[in-house]
């Protein structure tokens, strides 16, 4: 039977034995610590990345590396811990380097947070690592964005449900229901509508120079107090199960393609 080899719970001998037996695939969950309204914990995006990783690993048999909880949110509400995108890139490059040195052949970076800055930082890390390390051009590295591999998630985005809404709350109800609070609070209606129309509208971008080349100063809109971009009251554990099945299937397919490539 396939087995999820959870790196942080293994010993040196157990990792060595797995490598010597031919285990060459590792999933690296990349989360973030950020606000998720009043009903979800700050660790929600870490759950996204690691729960999908664990389920795929149980199906196909591979390592699951420890979850990275410190990346870039961009939000500024209490509890959020931001690490600059360029630092995230450097950190992911170092993780890739260490895994490759140990002989891992197939490395999948599992994004649990969909922020545009963090997404770019992770993609750039993978590309820069391979570009600067020709000795590892025989390795297979991928960035997996779970929401792109779920028809249900795509429907949520079409509905303006981007963050802490029904799709993300449904996942948490499926994975760790005890972590979901019964406190579905939203911002003022005009703020909610603004965020549902554009997930990056939480940012204020200001320049003192009226010129297209001027670089804006960016901060979170102070009118945002809760930050929920969706309708969490519509969430169900069954929807969460469906999303999980869709996105795990996509991840397993990616791993199989990488392993087949050698």
Domains of the chain by start residue, with CATH: 4-182+232-261 (3.40.50.10310)
Which tokens hold the place of 118? 């963090």
Query: Has residue 1 got a pLDDT over 70?
Result: no
Angle between helices 116-132 and 85-101 (to 10 degrees): 40
For residue 150, the model assigns a pLDDT of 96
Banded pLDDT at 3 (limits 50, 70, 90): confident
Higher pLDDT, 105 or 220: 105
Average pLDDT of the residues in 103-125: 96
Residue 203: predicted pLDDT: 82
What are the φ and ψ backbone dihedral angles of 6, each rounded to 5 degrees? -85, 105
Mean pLDDT of 250-258: 97
Based on the number of CB atoms within 10 Å of its own CB, is 40 exposed (0-12), middle (13-18) or buried (19 or more)? buried
Residue 92 pLDDT exceeds 80: yes
Angstrom CA distances, 199 to 34, 36, 158, stand at: 15, 14, 11
User: pLDDT tens digits, residue range 27-60?
Assistant: 999 999 999 999 999 999 999 999 999 999 999 9
* Residues 226, 37: Cα–Cα separation, whole Å: 5
Q: Does residue 200 have a pLDDT over 80?
A: no
Residue 2 pLDDT grade (very low, low, confident, very high; cuts 50, 70, 90): confident
Is pLDDT above 70 for 179?
Answer: yes
Mean per-residue pLDDT over the chain, rounded: 95
DSSP string, the chain: ---EEEGGG--HHHHHHHHHTT--EEEEEE--B---TTTS-TTHHHHHHHHHHHHHHHHH-EEEPPPB--------STT-B---HHHHHHHHHHHHHHHHHTT--EEEEEE----HHHHHHHHHHHHHHHHH-GGGTTSEEEEEEGGGG-HHHHHHHHTT--BSSHHHHHHHHHH-GGG--S------HHHHHHHHH-TTTTEEEE-SS-STTPPPEEEE-TT-SS--BS-GGG--HHHHHHHHHHHHHHHHHHHHHHHHH-
Comparison of pLDDT for 12 and 191, the residue scoring more: 12
């Amino acid at each position: 039977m396939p087995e999820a080899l959870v790196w942080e719970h293994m010993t040196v001998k157990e990792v060595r034995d797995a490598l010597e037996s031919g285990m060459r695939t590792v999933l690296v969950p990349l989360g973030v610590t950020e606000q998720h309204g009043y009903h979800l914990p700050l660790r929600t995006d870490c759950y996204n990345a690691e729960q999908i990783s664990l389920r795929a690993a149980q199906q196909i048999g591979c390592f699951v590396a420890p979850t990275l909880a410190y990346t870039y949110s961009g939000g500024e509400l209490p509890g959020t811990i931001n690490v600059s995108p360029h630092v995230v890139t450097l950190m992911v490059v170092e993780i890739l380097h260490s895994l490759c040195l140990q002989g891992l052949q197939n490395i999948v970076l599992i994004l649990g947070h969909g922020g545009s800055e963090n997404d770019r930082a992770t993609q750039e890390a993978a590309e820069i690592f391979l570009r600067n390390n020709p000795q590892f051009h025989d390795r297979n590295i991928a960035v997996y964005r779970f929401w792109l591999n779920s028809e249900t998630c795509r429907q949520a985005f079409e509905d303006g449900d981007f963050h802490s809404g029904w799709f993300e709350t449904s996942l948490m109800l499926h994975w760790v229901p005890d972590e979901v609070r019964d406190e579905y609070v939203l911002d003022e209606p005009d703020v909610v509508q603004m965020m549902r129309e554009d997930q990056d509208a939480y940012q204020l971008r200001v320049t003192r120079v009226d010129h297209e080349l001027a670089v804006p100063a960016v901060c979170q809109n102070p009118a945002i107090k809760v930050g929920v971009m969706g309708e969490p009251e519509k969430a169900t554990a069954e929807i969460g199960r469906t999303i999980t099945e869709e996105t795990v299937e996509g991840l397993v397919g990616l791993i199989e393609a990488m392993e087949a490539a050698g």
